[in-house]
Amino acid sequence: MSETATTTSASGTEDLLVRALELDAADPLADRRELFALDDGVYLDGNSLGALPLHVPARVQDVLTRQWGELRIRSWDESGWWTAPERIGDRIAPLVGAAAGQIVVSDSTSVNVFKAVVAAARIAGEGRDEILVDATTFPTDGYIAASAARLTGHRIVPVAPADVPAALGPRTAVVLLNHVDYRSGRLHDLPGLTAAVHAAGAVAVWDLCHSAGALPVGLDEHGVDLAVGCTYKYLNGGPGSPAYLYVAERHQAAFDSPLPGWNSHADPFGMTPGYAPADGSARGRVGTPDIVSMLTLEAALDVWDGVGVDAVRAKSLALTDFFLACVEAYVPAGRVTSVTPTAHAERGSQVALRCDDAASVMPRLVERGVVGDLRRPDVLRFGFTPLYVGFADVERAARVLAEVLAENPGD
């Protein structure tokens, strides 16, 4: 922070607030906010759990009382329960730049990472025994990849995403990367890294948990092989909502899941002892899907009707730019340092601020109605969901942060 940020005049604060109101008035996505259950606070933790779309409870009530309560077993056919994993996958597909028939909604992100990494190692074939893993990855991805490596006889090679091209070689089978770093908000080069992986003859697996619903992904355009993602962050599917698995059409015939459950059988009701995989994205299914959570997600996806991902990305960048400007203007000099890249090409939809007393600052922010989260030991993390976060929210969050930090000057 600059020395001029030590104090902010009343006129400076007023100028930023006026600018925020002007930006909100011109925001083409502003009306989407009315679709969500929000209070008078500022919710900047949608990168952990998205807000509830207002119409979802009534839809879930229908699932419980009519589909389950009245139709019961008939709902597998009459209410479309059986086809839900692929049907909802096709609704997610445009948000990540995929054509229909390549995404199945099922299980958790962790389970899908396991399926994807093992299947990718099998697609890569013999003679390749290394799995490169993002060294900064969300811990579960690393745990799962290590287990997959033990199962397949591969070895794990942790590597920073920027160093992947230099680490690739003839022994590389799979590269597992995060599109956006969960801690810093850094956006990694999916097109460039995917091309480098392919040039080395390996298979690229991407984790989209912190990018899907916040920015364009372009799975088909950039030739991604396999991808996984959760649905409870920017897609607002609800706590524990099922994840999804993308398998590019060119790989579907060779996709050999390590979890061949009855739901992915070509003839699931034949109950035969031998396994024969279904065609298409259904190969990514395993057991009986969690229908209530899945249909909750399906209802939540209605908020995306008529919304383009490019418009979401434009607002996301504007929100994060404005937040950084407000922090620069309001926060006492030297109290926080942004660890989120300033370059748009390297930024997701969050801002992470390093703060020595972050562990005590975040609870005080929450008490004052500004909800972000803490990444220990010293990172304040703020997520910006463009469908319901406005510019006045951003200005208020920075102002409250400055007030909290001023009350406790730190060490």
Side-chain half-sphere exposure of 183, counting CA atoms within 13 A: 12
> Is position 138 annotated as part of the catalytic site?
yes
**Local structure of residue 270 (DSSP, 8 states):** T
Q: Residue 410 pLDDT > 70, yes or no?
A: no
Cα 373 from Cα 385, distance rounded (Å) = 14
> Is position 381 annotated as part of the catalytic site?
yes
Contact 395, 66 (CB under 8 A): no
Scan for tokens 């019961």, then name that residue: 72
Catalytic-role residue among 233, 285, 315, 399: 233
Domains observed in the chain = 3-35+308-407 (3.90.1150.10), 57-304 (3.40.640.10)
Q: Environment class of residue 19 by beta-carbon count within 10 Å: exposed (0-12), middle (13-18) or buried (19+)?
A: middle
Q: What are the tens digits of pLDDT across the range 181-223?
A: 999 999 999 999 999 999 999 999 999 999 999 999 999 999 9
Confidence of residue 11 (pLDDT cuts 50, 70, 90): low
In this prediction, residue 9 carries a pLDDT of: 54
Side-chain half-sphere exposure of 69, counting CA atoms within 13 A: 7
- What average pLDDT does the structure give for the chain? 95
Q: Residue 339 pLDDT > 80, yes or no?
A: yes
- Closest listed residue to residue 136, CA positions, set 104, 170, 180: 180
In this prediction, residue 178 carries a pLDDT of: 97
Long-range Cβ pairs for the range 18-24 (8 Å, 24+): 19/322, 19/391, 19/395, 20/322, 20/390, 20/391, 20/392, 20/394, 20/395, 21/391, 21/392, 23/318, 23/322, 23/391, 24/390, 24/391, 24/392
Q: What are the tens digits of pLDDT across the range 341-364?
A: 999 999 999 999 999 999 999 999
Confidence of residue 121 (pLDDT cuts 50, 70, 90): very high
In this prediction, residue 14 carries a pLDDT of: 83
Catalytic-role residue among 138, 323, 382, 391: 138
| Least trusted range by pLDDT, from 7-11, 252-256, 303-307 | 7-11
- Closest listed residue to residue 189, CA positions, set 202, 177, 171, 172: 177
What are the backbone angles phi and psi of residue 226, rounded to the nearest 5°? Answer: -140, 150
- Closest listed residue to residue 166, CA positions, set 138, 199, 143: 199
Catalytic-role residue among 43, 232, 330, 388: 232
End-to-end CA distance of the chain: 17
Q: Residue 7 pLDDT > 70, yes or no?
A: no
Q: Residue 4 pLDDT > 80, yes or no?
A: no
> What's the Cα-to-Cα distance from 255 to each of 176, 251, 273, rounded to whole Å?
16, 6, 20
DSSP run (H or E) holding 294 = helix 291-300
> Is position 232 annotated as part of the catalytic site?
yes
Q: What are the tens digits of pLDDT across the range 292-307?
A: 999 999 999 999 999 9
In this prediction, residue 2 carries a pLDDT of: 33
Cα 233 from Cα 50, distance rounded (Å) = 5
> Is position 330 annotated as part of the catalytic site?
no
Contact 216, 94 (CB under 8 A): no
> Is position 207 annotated as part of the catalytic site?
yes
Q: Residue 226 pLDDT > 90, yes or no?
A: yes
What is the model's pTM? 0.95
Confidence of residue 12 (pLDDT cuts 50, 70, 90): low
Q: What are the tens digits of pLDDT across the range 360-408?
A: 999 999 999 999 999 999 999 999 999 999 999 999 999 999 999 998 7
Residues 45-49 have a mean pLDDT of: 98
- Which pair of structure tokens corresponds to residue 171? 């022994």
Edge-first strand order for the sheet with 244-247 is: 103-105, 244-247, 226-229, 203-207, 172-178, 130-134, 155-159
Catalytic-role residue among 283, 381, 396, 399: 381
Catalytic-role residue among 107, 181, 207, 225: 207
Q: Residue 325 pLDDT > 80, yes or no?
A: yes
Strands (E), 14-140: 42-43, 103-105, 130-134
**With pLDDT > 70 as the criterion, what percentage of the chain qualifies?**
96
